[in-house]
Amino acid sequence: MTKNQGAPKLWVSLATAAVFAIAVFAVGFSIYVTFFAKPELSPLALTNQQFSLVNHRGEEVTPEKYTGRPTAIFFGYTNCPEICPTTLNDIGIVAGDLGDTADNINFVFVTIDPERDTVDLLAQYMTSFDRHIEGVTGSLEEISKFAGGLGVFFRKTDEGPVYEMDHTTWIYLFNRSGEFVRTANLRNPNENLTEALQTLAN
């Protein structure tokens, strides 16, 4: 085999290796952002956001709706097999622990799968959780705008009709002025969301 004949094979091998390395990096980065990266530096105050969505009661939702009292926001989707329903259930437990204080806090569940999560479906889904939690949906463009402003990552895992969503699993906490305070991770056994929200509400 001549030198010139071997060159194309070498370039094909190098290109294949490069594509594989990029794919591995992309998957690894996606996992890191979804489950480990702490987004404290990126979220903006709710008053700096611009979005128009709708809650599970059919009411319009804008950034102004979430000012005036503390807010806890979680992004997920109704077809989520485990993390989303578990987190919403845990948020409900927190709301119960807060007692009457929960009436003065916004608990918000924003779907990152508006293609399937319509207002009617969210209305049905939210009956499984604490009454204080508000389900929110809307156009993919508006949800992406809201999520992007908070540094929230999400994407489809497949392109067919049956798919799951990769997404950030943090809960985002804001004070009554709509200013970002911090994220909360209920999978951390040392996390005390009840205490954090009680402090924000006082």
pTM: 0.78
Residue with more model confidence, 163 or 6: 163
User: Minimal CA–CA distance to 42: which of 116, 152, 142, 131?
Assistant: 152
User: Minimal CA–CA distance to 110: which of 66, 69, 158?
Assistant: 66
Q: In whole angstroms, what is the distance from residue 87 CA to residue 89 CA?
A: 5
Instruction: Give the sign of the dihedral formed by CA 62, CA 70, CA 109, CA 50.
Output: positive
Candidate from 22-31, 108-117, 142-151, 182-191 with smallest mean pLDDT: 22-31
State yes or no: pLDDT of 140 exceeds 90: yes
Instruction: Give the model's confidence band at 4: pLDDT under 50 very low, under 70 low, under 90 confident, else very high.
Output: low
Residue with more model confidence, 104 or 158: 104
- Taking each helix axis from N to C end, the angle separating 83-98 and 193-201, rounded to the nearest 10 degrees, works out to 50
DSSP 3-state of 16: helix
Give residue 6's pLDDT: 56
Instruction: Give the model's confidence band at 186: pLDDT under 50 very low, under 70 low, under 90 confident, else very high.
Output: confident
